Structure 1
Amino acid sequence: MHSLLSGFVLALALVATIDGALDLPSNERPRIPVYEGQCDPPFSPVEGSHCYFLSYNKMKSDWLSAQLVCSWLHPNGRLAEFETVEELVDATEFLFKDNQDGTYPWAAPGPWIGAIELGDSNEFVWASSNSPIEVPNWSPSRPNSPTFGDGVALDVTNFFEWIDLSNGTEIPILCEIPSNPPPVELTCSDGFFSLGDRCYAVFDNDADRLSWYNAKTLCTSLAVGGHLVEFQTADELGLVKDHLLESNYDCFFYWIGAEEIGNTNTYFWTSSGQVVVFYDWWSGQPDDGTSGDAIGLRCSDNWRWSDEPKYGTRRFICEAPPVDV
């Protein structure tokens, strides 16, 4: 018996066939690993980006009721349909290994899947689309049930090969739902570092000094969505200030992305056009009497703000959103 099981696992690892023997090397193709948030509960994630509900020996029903139960479990729930060789291999390998574990035994003969017979023709379709089954995995001598409108079950005693049964037979169920998309992996553009959910670049060398306008232009060119740093929330301001206080940057004045409206001492963030709603001025600031100033962070003043004319060359800090890997 052990040799039979070993032979089956080896066969699954090597081939997948359209007519029943499993012609795609499953160990040579990429398979999406299980990822966080892949499936809505109570469905279980399976490698290959699949989501299944297995009733084991805890629930049995006829084929039509099984479809109904799947739809109760999730709005997009249905009996499992294996529409590609890849999914058939993924599901069969998973079920076989899960069954070998033995923690949750199946009731014989095994679960319903979403294939149904057309009349008494021994021709089967996937119920959700009424489409022909391109990748069957019939047990030898199957299908052979004499009844009308049979359903298809997976035979737990024979490596989960397919058998046809009267659709009124009460057996376990195997439901599926579409998986949720994988989480997007984000990173910072070259030259930027991650802080919170944003990316920053601090230009603290003397050779980096630019006017406010030129610094603004450079930040835009360095990354998609790049701009001089803007503090949209007090939390972001605190996060960046903590970083600056804990780091060993040259202690000078650094441009940020706030520009004065006329000579009003009211500022707006230039990339968003939003008026600055909170300030972190150093004592006595703002104190420049010219029109259209910009704001900078003064290291010597605990990184608090002061206003200066935009033509002065200063160090600066860029900000950009993370990008897809």
Structure 2
Amino acid sequence: MGARVGEREQVGRETESEWGKSVSGESGVGEESMNEEGRERERRAVCKAFESDLVSIESNDENLLIDGYLQTKHPHDNDKVAADYWIGGNDIESEGNFKWIGSEQPFTFTYWMSGQPDPAEQDCVEIRGVSNFRWHDETCTHQHRFICEKP
């Protein structure tokens, strides 16, 4: 999926959002009952409402577009502490075999931070601000912003 800067935008945040509610609160699903796959489905549903899906970063060029946007949005180190974003990759089906949820294709490009992915039971992929926006596998139930992409 080729990407242009104008086709990517952040459309949701699972904690406080521009709409003033948490995404899980809008769907009527309780925080405690949400498992990893449920949380991932919920993020996708928000993207789908905007005729998009969680972003797949399949090349260095695409990664540079997103990295540039995030570096501009969070220019100071203290801004990056809370600057974690979910992207559309996971290894929920098979530990260590990451794929993009939209295309079901395995990763051909990665931008992992040092030591990642680790062997822990962490199935979703986030862009982590404190690692200068490198990728990190994390438990899918954490609440972060997420990035959607229009086809």
Q: In the TM superposition, what whole-angstrom CA distance separates every residue of 1:102-128 from its partner, at most 9, and x where no partner exists? A: 9xx677360110001053521200101
Q: How does 1:1-325 map to 2 (within 5 A)?
A: 46=5, 49-53=6-10, 55=12, 58-59=16-17, 62-72=39-49, 74-75=50-51, 77-100=52-75, 108=82, 110-144=84-118, 146-147=120-121, 150-178=123-151
Amino acid at match of 2:136: I
Q: CA deviation at 1:134?
A: 1.0
Counterpart-to-counterpart distance in 2, 1:174 and 1:92: 12
Contact 2:85 2:128 in 1 (8 A): yes
Amino acid at match of 2:45: L
Change (3 A) 1:113 1:127: same
Change (3 A) 1:145 1:168: farther
TM-score w.r.t. the length of structure 2 is 0.71
Change (3 A) 1:146 1:109: farther
Q: In the TM superposition, what whole-angstrom CA distance separates every residue of 1:128-171 from its partner, at most 9, and x where no partner exists? A: 111011110001001115226x1100101111100111122222
Larger Rg belongs to: 1
Change (3 A) 1:109 1:100: closer
Change (3 A) 1:54 1:154: farther
Q: CA deviation at 1:58?
A: 3.4
Amino acid at match of 1:99: H
Task: Provide the aligned length of Structure 1 versus Structure 2.
Answer: 128
Contact 2:90 2:99 in 1 (8 A): yes
Amino acid at match of 2:91: E
Contact 1:88 1:135 in 2 (8 A): no
Q: In the TM superposition, what whole-angstrom CA distance separates every residue of 1:286-314 from its partner, at most 9, and x where no partner exists? A: xxxxxxxxxxxxxxxxxxxxxxxxxxxxx
TM-score w.r.t. the length of structure 1 is 0.35
Q: Aligned with 1:52: secondary structure?
A: strand
Change (3 A) 1:175 1:101: farther
Q: Aligned with 1:153: secondary structure?
A: strand
Contact 2:11 2:47 in 1 (8 A): no
Q: Aligned with 1:100: secondary structure?
A: coil
Aligned-residue sequence identity (percent) comes to 20
Amino acid at match of 1:114: G
Contact 1:110 1:171 in 2 (8 A): yes
Q: CA deviation at 1:99?
A: 1.1
The alignment yields a C-alpha RMSD, in angstroms, of: 2.8
Counterpart-to-counterpart distance in 2, 1:163 and 1:145: 12
Q: Aligned with 1:122: secondary structure?
A: coil
Amino acid at match of 2:150: I
1:202 matched residue in structure 2: none
Q: Aligned with 1:88: secondary structure?
A: helix
Q: Which has the higher contact order (CA 8 A, sep 6+)?
A: 2
Counterpart-to-counterpart distance in 2, 1:106 and 1:67: 24
Counterpart-to-counterpart distance in 2, 1:66 and 1:106: 21
Counterpart-to-counterpart distance in 2, 1:119 and 1:63: 13
Amino acid at match of 1:58: E
